[in-house]
Amino acid sequence: MATDPDKAAKVVALKKQIEEIAGHEIDVSPEQLFQIAAPFALSTSEDGMVKWWRFFPEPQRFCVATGDLLDVSGSSVAGADGKSVFRLSGFACAQLDRTIVGFAEPINVVATPRATSPSFLTMTSALVNNASDVEITVLAWNPNGSAAPNVSFDWRCRVVSIQNIQ
């Protein structure tokens, strides 16, 4: 990409700003910066089963076909306080087709730090907005138990999705 020196300096400045926002270095060419879009999440939906445990009147385990399980993965970064809170709707492509009307337990979330120094992640998940979304909270920790700021991590969430039957 042939640019004049003024534009080249602006591209370098833009890249630095994006890296500050992302909290880590990005490996992109000047041409890629002008695309202003980059993939950051994956999602799939497939038929699945949920195993239930009935406690009363007698303990019993049984399986129920759920219809669809939504599997979403993405990347994020903990803030300066070591915390990241996000909702599945911000990452799941399936939400865009309007066939998903809600979610149900169980919710399974796994997160893995992308770091060269030791760090740990803990997380919680909850159904929010009348079960129309899943909120995930990830906390990053240093080995000494203090909050670890700006830790990049990959995550994956699998949840039962309730479909709109037409």
pLDDT per residue as tens digits for the range 107-158: 999 999 998 889 999 999 999 999 989 999 999 999 999 999 999 999 999 9
Indicate whether 11 and 52 sit together in one domain. no
Q: How far apart are CA 19 and CA 97, in angstroms?
A: 32
Same-domain check for residues 24 and 103? no
Q: What sign results for the dihedral spanned by CA atoms 91, 92, 97, 102?
A: negative
Strand order from edge to edge, sheet including 120-128: 83-87, 133-141, 120-128
Q: Which domain holds residue 129?
A: 39-163
* 140, β-bridge pairs: 121
Please tell me whether residues 31 and 86 are part of one structural domain. no
Question: Is 53 found in the same domain as 29?
Answer: no
pLDDT for position 97: 53
pLDDT value of residue 38: 65
Residue 35: pLDDT band (50, 70, 90) is: low
Please work out, in degrees rounded to the nearest 5, the angle formed at the alpha carbon of residue 34 by the alpha carbons of 31 and 40.
100
Which tokens sit at 133? 């979304």
Confidence of residue 60 (pLDDT cuts 50, 70, 90): confident
> How many structural domains does the chain have?
2
Residues 33 and 58 in one domain: no
Rg (C-alpha) for the chain, rounded Å, is: 20
d(CA 136, CA 91): 12
At 64, the pLDDT band (50, 70, 90 cuts) reads confident
pTM of the model: 0.72
